Amino acid sequence: MPQKQHLIDPEICIRCYTCEMTCPINAIEHNEDNVVVDARICNFCMACIPVCPTGSIDEWRVVDEPYSMDEQLSWSELPEQDVTVHTDADQEEGDRISDDDPIVALLAEAHKGVGGVSRAPVSASRPTVNLYRPNQPMKATVQGIYRLTSENSDSEVYHIILDFGGKPFPVIEGQSIGVLPPGLDEHGKSYLPRLYSVSSPRDGERSGYHNVSLTVKREEQGICSNFLCNLGLGDTVKIAGPFGSTFLLPSDPEARLLMICTGTGSAPMRAFTMARRRTAGVQNGRMVMFFGARTPDSLPYFGPLKKVPSKFLKKYLVYSRQPGQKKEYVQDRMLVERELVAGMLQDAHTHIYICGLKAMEDGVDKAFRNIAESVGLKWSRCREVMREESRYHVETY
């Protein structure tokens, strides 16, 4: 009896193990070479799909007998779909699968995006993914590096501009790139790439320059963040990618963007905003942003954001550690601005983007539920419809 099997593409996977940590039933394991899914345990709950930064985990095959763990752990690439899999005892060996075959339906069902899986907006540009792999990276040169947060802030965030020397690196808004820090890990192997969202539009930090900018926060024990934040002009960086095929900007000029972010989660929102300004000018950008940080000193791009006209981007900057003031988070300001948010939830042109620390997800979701119910909407259904229509996107870490 044919069955679908969940697999991971070893050529694209960057071994970050996020899927393994996310799986609620411990169906994902790894060795030194591969990350794999145990078909004996996997129940297709899809919890691992949205957290994968590369899309490598969104792979499926229909098989008569599942590939074993040992087979998967030895792969360097995925096997092709076996077209000789048969659906019943009467099918002759070697028959090919037709479009109306039950196997095709089974494979399509595996990809239909249940369980909260995000899909790219219908009008989004087609992304290039995995052009440069960790074993064959692109070399980029540091063209600029600037501290974004105040010297008095306890948050050290940098804006880093990378130049590819005229070589093609086709990254678009919402995608990420992988940075390979120098040195070896505790096992004597090269470090795996660390992913950073691109904070510049597709044609570059300056229009037509085709460079790429990143927003990087220094973490005390962060191997890659410290490497990046310590770079100087002219230094070189090994880059893999681009990665990401869902958290993308719609090309539809009528699309409204509701962007909710914290800290360096502002990176893709900056890319979206700059891209829209280049295509729409300073007219109504149909964009709303709720952006949270501890203080104004620790909010990346605070100065430039203040200069963006409110008719283009409606901004709500909120702070949780302002001296003498009550703590406020993005979900709190969403509730204050419930009329605006409710109107956007009821507009079929609205696309929601949430990016930042994973801890923000629950509070934002509860705020949406409160606001939706206040206007007679069932939030779980509303969110499901937006996901089905590729208008609800979450990228947290």
Residue 85: per-residue pLDDT: 56
Question: Which stretches does DSSP call E strand in the chain?
Answer: 3-7, 28-30, 35-37, 59-63, 138-147, 157-163, 176-180, 194-197, 212-217, 236-243, 256-262, 287-293, 313-319, 350-356, 392-396
319 and 275 assigned to the same domain: yes
Residue 98: per-residue pLDDT: 40
Peptide bond into 242 cis (omega under 30): yes
266 and 226 assigned to the same domain: no
199 and 131 assigned to the same domain: yes
C-alpha distance from residue 23 to each of 14, 42, 47, 205 (Å): 17, 9, 6, 37
The per-residue pLDDT for range 331-380, each reduced to its tens digit, is 999 999 999 999 999 999 999 999 998 889 999 999 999 999 999 999 99
Is residue 251 a part of any domain in this protein?
no
Task: Write the single-letter amino acid at 22.
Answer: T
Residue 1: per-residue pLDDT: 72
Domain count, the chain: 3
Q: Is the distance from CB of 37 to CB of 8 less than 8 angstroms? A: yes
141 and 183 assigned to the same domain: yes
Residue 60: per-residue pLDDT: 86
Is residue 12 a part of any domain in this protein?
yes
140 and 271 assigned to the same domain: no
350 and 283 assigned to the same domain: yes
Report pTM: 0.80
Structure tokens at 76: 């360097």
Residue 103: per-residue pLDDT: 46
- Measured CA to CA, the distance from residue 124 to residue 351 in angstroms comes to 12
Range of the domain at 374: 256-396
Residue 296: per-residue pLDDT: 92
CATH classification at residue 58: 3.30.70.20
What residue ranges of the chain have pLDDT lower than 50? 86-104, 106-116
Is residue 291 a part of any domain in this protein?
yes
CATH classification at residue 291: 3.40.50.80
Structure tokens at 328: 């406020």
266 and 390 assigned to the same domain: yes
Residue 93: per-residue pLDDT: 35
136 and 236 assigned to the same domain: yes
236 and 313 assigned to the same domain: no
Which of the listed residues 220, 243, 266 is the one where a domain comes to its end?
A: 243
Which of the listed residues 184, 211, 243 is the one where a domain comes to its end?
A: 243
